[in-house]
Structure 1
Amino acid sequence: MSKINRQGSNAILSTSVEYHNFVFLAGLTADDLSKDITGQTEQVIAKIDQALEDNGTDKTRLLTAQIWLKDIRDRDAMNKVWMAWLGDAGRPARACVEANMADPRHLVEIMVTACR
């Protein structure tokens, strides 16, 4: 039976799960909720970079991305940060929708899947 590797586990989730060289990240949010959409997106992307690195991969290996915005009108500002981060790396299949957040100060949450 193949091993499932979990990191950052608590009572309800793991920050990442690796199985058969696929890396699934939990939805990640910013820590500094006083920041605007640009600042929060930058923080989330930094967390994604670190989590992917911790699992032996990086943004060039992204397969999918799910993005939740508190206000869909923030999509253009979030996309500016997203596109600058991706650069010429492969583009993942992606969804971006407006959603109510668990904490109303969260402006963006991003969840990605990558391979190693």
Structure 2
Amino acid sequence: MSKISRNGSNKILSSSVEYHGFVYLAGLTADDLSQDIAGQTTQVLAKIDAQLELHGTDNTRLLQAQIWLKDIRDRDAMNKLWSAWLPEGGAPVRACVEANMADPRHLVEIMVTACK
């Protein structure tokens, strides 16, 4: 039986799960919620980089992304940073939708799947 590696687990979720060379990250949000969409997106992308690095991979190996925005009108500002962060020709499949957030101060949440 193949090993499933869970990290940062509590009763509700794990911050990441690795299985058969695939890395699944939980939805990540910013820590400094006083920031605007650009500031929060920058924080989230840095957290994704750090989590992927822990699993021996990076954003060149992204397969899928799910992005939730508190206000869909922030999509262009978020996409500007997202596009700059992605490697050339490395865009994953993606969904980006407006959603009510668990904490109304969160402006963006991003969840990705990558391979090693």
Regarding TM over 0.5, the answer is yes
For structure 1, the 5+ residue unaligned runs are none
Identity of aligned residues (%): 79
**Could you tell me which residue of structure 1 aligns to residue 86 of structure 2?**
86
Distance 1:9 1:87 in 2: 30
Aligned length: 116
Is contact 2:60-2:87 (8 Å) kept?
no
With the length of structure 2 as denominator, give the TM-score of the two structures: 0.98
Is 1:70–2:70 an aligned residue pair?
yes
Q: 1:95: how far off?
A: 0.3
Is contact 1:59-1:89 (8 Å) kept?
no
Distance 2:29 2:113 in 1: 16
Q: Which runs of 4+ in 1 moved over 6 A?
A: none
Distance 1:62 1:87 in 2: 10
Q: 1:9: how far off?
A: 0.8
Q: 1:81: how far off?
A: 0.5
State the superposition RMSD in angstroms: 0.7
1:29-62 CA-to-partner distances (Å, cap 9, x unmatched) read: 0000000000000000000000000011000000
With the length of structure 1 as denominator, give the TM-score of the two structures: 0.98
